[in-house]
Structure 1
Amino acid sequence: MPPFLELFDVAFVQRALVAGTLVAVICAVVGTWVVLRGMAFLGEAMAHGMLPGIAVATLVGAPPLLGAAVSAAAMSTGIGMLQRRGRISADTGIGLLFVASLALGVIIVSASRSFATDATAILFGDILATTTGDILTLAVVAIITLVAACLGHRAFVALTFDPRQAQLLGLRPRAAQVLLVALVTVAVVAAYQSVGSLLVVGMLLGPVVAAGQWTGRIPTTAALAAVIGTVSVALGLLISWHTSTAAGATIAFVAICSGAVSTLAHRLFVRPERNS
């Protein structure tokens, strides 16, 4: 193995790569629908909505992932209640909950004098600390996500392109929307360990935007996004190792850059062929 790739011989880097690959698959499947449905703001709000739960769990000695799940579920429930009542727009409700959750998380963190190192992990992840148990959890989440996406595919398509037709076909668009929000919640919580609460959306959007330049089919987009996300994880770990930068932030940055690189490549190599 070339010297610059020797890091992948290290056990904790191997675990990080496996975990990152599973996160890439989860985020690719869910992120495809996030992009198609224009739910990026929801994903961002959900990611920041985890902060209070993670902070409280860390303070009381509970697993941070459990706190993230509880907090994200509460955020999802709050969004659903606001949308059902219909007194304010969905974006306004999400924005209010987003800011409230973020502010509460910061208050909890700032109230503790022993939160300096924990706060860094919360915000930017700690993928190099991934354990075998974390990998098993991500594997289960990946399987659940794939099964739910397959079972709900027809309803998701109808909901995205013609909600009224979905209702007429008996596809229950409201239930499909609830399931989709639940999948976004699961993806955000799953990716928390890898890239932290601030950078989760990078894994949700970057690879999908990159994949969308080359295919218009939903399953193909999700599959290609999973490959691009996996490459982003490996490249991010490689860059982080040799430049001594934060691994989670580097991975998220590479994932976002994949979208820009893919767009540029598509313009350079595909459009000229069409014009010739």
Structure 2
Amino acid sequence: MIDLSPLYGLVALLPFDCLQVRFMQQAFLGLLLLAPMAAVMGIMVVNFRMAFFADAISHSAFAGVALGLLFSVDPDWTMPAFGLLVGLGIMIMQRHSELSSDTVIGVFFSGMVAFGLAIVSRDRSLARDLQRFLYGDILTISDGQLLCLIALFVALMGFQTLSYNQLLYIGLNPTLAKAHRIRVAVHQYIFTGLLALIVMFAVQAVGVLLVTAMLIVPAAAARNLARSAGTMFWWALLISLSSSIIGLLISAQDWARTATGATVILIACGWFGLSLLPAALQRRPHH
């Protein structure tokens, strides 16, 4: 396995006492990788109105974790694998069904939650293990998961660099994009697969209950502040990164001792509140 000690050494140089311990250094690196990916995908989720889609994938984490625990397989592997299958399944059904997107997602959402709860109900001891994924805990991230995040980060940034304009075109009008020889199906499947994997890693960071917020809130705040697609990207990146780092540092303080995931989302919501001010000030009547 690749040695991440040099990266931990760099994190330790930061002037914060809480970052001198290994698990905090791992959590810091994990959020440093996850936050930009959540920002990039969050913009697409907001622009394409896919919040319910991300929510359905995140709730499939229940079933993925439960299956792993049931068959004595590491849930850190079964959860992303199952989420990827669910995401691709939804996309296949959307493309080959006359039903509306919300209806297809709603069916998958209901089925996955019911499936997970059915497995857990067979063995009550599984419920205790599921709590870690329900609330999330970035402090438990491992070196192996960090390496997976690095690989996913490289794959996502490569895909976005090559396909950003095509994805915007598809989001506006898939039929017109197809007429301009854009391979709509290929782009949609790759985007869905990457989104599913990012959602699953975000579940480990902030939990099933808050994973959609990690995608949506920074992008929504960025949309309030930005005047173009380009500036929206940079605002989302700034808000997501700052919320993650500040949230991690605050949660580690003795006076706070709050859950890291919840603190990250609260900081992001604070950003969203601030993003409403410019528009509110512009609407004020001038005397």
TM-score (norm 2): 0.85
* Structure 2 residue aligned with 1:35: 46
* Structure 2 residue aligned with 1:17: 28
Contact 1:32 1:218 in 2 (8 A): no
Q: How big is the shift at 1:274?
A: 11
* Structure 1 residue aligned with 2:203: 192
The answer to whether residue 86 in structure 2 is matched with residue 85 in structure 1 is no
Residues of 2 paired with 1:115 and 1:247: CA distance?
A: 23
Once the two structures are overlaid, the 10-residue window that deviates more, 132-141 or 232-241, is 232-241
Q: How big is the shift at 1:124?
A: 1.4
Contact 1:167 1:173 in 2 (8 A): yes
Q: How big is the shift at 1:106?
A: 1.9
| 1:267 maps to amino acid | A
CA deviations on 1:214-242 (whole Å, 9 max, x unpaired) are 22433432233122112111222233223
Residues of 1 paired with 2:149 and 2:163: CA distance?
A: 21
The answer to whether residue 182 in structure 2 is matched with residue 171 in structure 1 is yes
Q: Which of structure 1's runs of 4+ aligned residues deviate more than 4 A? A: 272-276
| 1:142 maps to amino acid | F
Residues of 2 paired with 1:111 and 1:205: CA distance?
A: 34
Aligned partner of 2:267 among 254, 265, 269: 254
Q: How big is the shift at 1:121?
A: 0.8
Residues of 1 paired with 2:247 and 2:89: CA distance?
A: 35
* Structure 2 residue aligned with 1:140: 151
Aligned pairs, number: 272
Once the two structures are overlaid, the 10-residue window that deviates more, 253-262 or 193-202, is 253-262
- Which segments of 5 or more consecutive residues in structure 1 lack a partner in the other structure? none
- Which segments of 5 or more consecutive residues in structure 2 lack a partner in the other structure? 1-14
Contact 2:88 2:189 in 1 (8 A): no
| 1:78 maps to amino acid | G
User: Residues 129 and 158 from structure 1, CA distance in 2 versus in 1: closer, same or farther, beyond 3 angstroms?
Assistant: same
Once the two structures are overlaid, the 10-residue window that deviates more, 22-31 or 213-222, is 213-222
User: Residues 169 and 275 from structure 1, CA distance in 2 versus in 1: closer, same or farther, beyond 3 angstroms?
Assistant: farther
| 1:260 maps to amino acid | G
SS in 1 for 2:226: coil
The answer to whether residue 122 in structure 2 is matched with residue 106 in structure 1 is no
Residues of 1 paired with 2:133 and 2:271: CA distance?
A: 24
| 2:274 maps to amino acid | V
Contact 1:69 1:189 in 2 (8 A): yes
Residues of 2 paired with 1:267 and 1:81: CA distance?
A: 40
Higher helix residue share = 1
Contact 1:211 1:262 in 2 (8 A): yes
Q: How big is the shift at 1:261?
A: 2.7
TM-score (norm 1): 0.89
Percent identity between the aligned chains?
31
The answer to whether residue 111 in structure 2 is matched with residue 96 in structure 1 is no
* Structure 1 residue aligned with 2:11: none
User: Residues 64 and 226 from structure 1, CA distance in 2 versus in 1: closer, same or farther, beyond 3 angstroms?
Assistant: farther
